[in-house]
């Protein structure tokens, strides 16, 4: 199984207030998100983290990421560079670290980036786009972006996989394929 997520912001105290997250402390937030992930993602599953995983040091990133189930892949976000590029960060916890990727699952192409795109590789041929960055600004899919920004984008083919709009759970590729067909 393949899962996608973004914008966990582990160890980021101010994100609780910025995104109105229902946690009393950063420790509670970290523990709930880790538990939610591990309830869905098994060790042999793939977990694509589309940026802004951890706020803080390489040491804190090592401790948190090690606790997440699955084979992990990182698509860097704007807050990941400070720990990813630190020599003390254990990059072997990820299968790879990239800025953008294209993968296929069950005959469907996914384009992965931390940032939402208005158009992406093979978007006119059914490819889906997964992104984060916007947190809970209610851009759950391309239709929401279209309504908010009055820009022409493709139908239900782009998905905010961030924790703030997905009840702090990762989202499965299978669920996104089903949602993309519900037009």
Q: State residue 147's pLDDT score.
A: 53
pLDDT in tens, 23-50: 999 999 999 999 999 999 999 999 999 9
> What is the domain count for the chain?
1
Task: Output the CA–CA distances (angstroms, integers) from residue 60 to 12, 30, 53, 127, 135, in the order listed.
Answer: 11, 11, 11, 35, 22
Q: Residue range 3-12: average pLDDT?
A: 96
Spatial neighbors of 88 by CB under 8 A, at least 6 apart, are 57, 58, 59, 62
- CATH number of the CATH domain containing 87: 3.60.21.10
pLDDT in tens, 45-91: 999 999 999 998 889 899 999 999 999 999 999 888 888 887 888 99
Contact, 79 vs 9, CB < 8 A?
Answer: yes
Q: State residue 143's pLDDT score.
A: 56
Q: Is the pLDDT of residue 153 over 70?
A: no
Q: Please tell me the distance from the alpha carbon of residue 75 to that of residue 80, in angstroms, as a whole number.
A: 9
State the alpha helices, DSSP H only, in the chain. Answer: 13-18, 26-40, 58-65, 81-84, 142-149, 173-181
pLDDT band (50, 70, 90) for residue 150: very low
Contact, 6 vs 47, CB < 8 A?
Answer: no
- List the domain range (segments joined by +) for residue 68: 2-181
pLDDT in tens, 155-179: 578 888 999 989 999 999 999 999 8
* 174 DSSP assignment: H
Q: What share of the chain is helix, strand, coil (3-state, %, to 5)?
A: 30, 25, 45
Q: Please tell me the distance from the alpha carbon of residue 129 to that of residue 115, in angstroms, as a whole number.
A: 10
pLDDT in tens, 84-135: 887 888 999 999 999 999 999 999 999 999 999 888 998 888 899 999 988 7
pLDDT band (50, 70, 90) for residue 151: very low
Contact, 73 vs 101, CB < 8 A?
Answer: yes
Task: Output the CA–CA distances (angstroms, integers) from residue 129 to 9, 27, 115, 181, in the order listed.
Answer: 21, 31, 10, 14
């Amino acid at each position: 199984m393949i899962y996608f997520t973004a914008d966990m912001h582990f160890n980021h105290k101010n994100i609780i207030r910025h995104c109105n997250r229902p946690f009393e402390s950063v420790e509670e937030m970290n523990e709930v998100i880790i538990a939610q992930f591990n309830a869905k993602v098994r060790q042999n599953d793939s977990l694509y983290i589309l940026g802004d995983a951890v706020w803080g040091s390489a040491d804190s990133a090592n401790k948190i990421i090690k606790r997440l189930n699955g084979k992990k892949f990182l698509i860097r976000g704007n807050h990941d560079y400070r720990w990813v590029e630190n020599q003390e960060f254990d990059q072997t916890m990820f299968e790879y670290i990239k800025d953008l990727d294209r993968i296929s699952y069950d005959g469907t192409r996914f384009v992965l980036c931390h940032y939402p795109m208005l158009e992406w590789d093979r978007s006119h041929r059914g490819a889906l786009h997964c992104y984060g960055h916007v947190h809970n600004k209610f851009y759950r899919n391309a239709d929401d972006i279209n309504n908010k920004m009055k820009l022409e984008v493709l139908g239900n083919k782009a998905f905010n996989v961030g924790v703030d709009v997905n009840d702090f759970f990762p989202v499965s590729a299978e669920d996104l394929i089903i949602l993309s067909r519900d037009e």
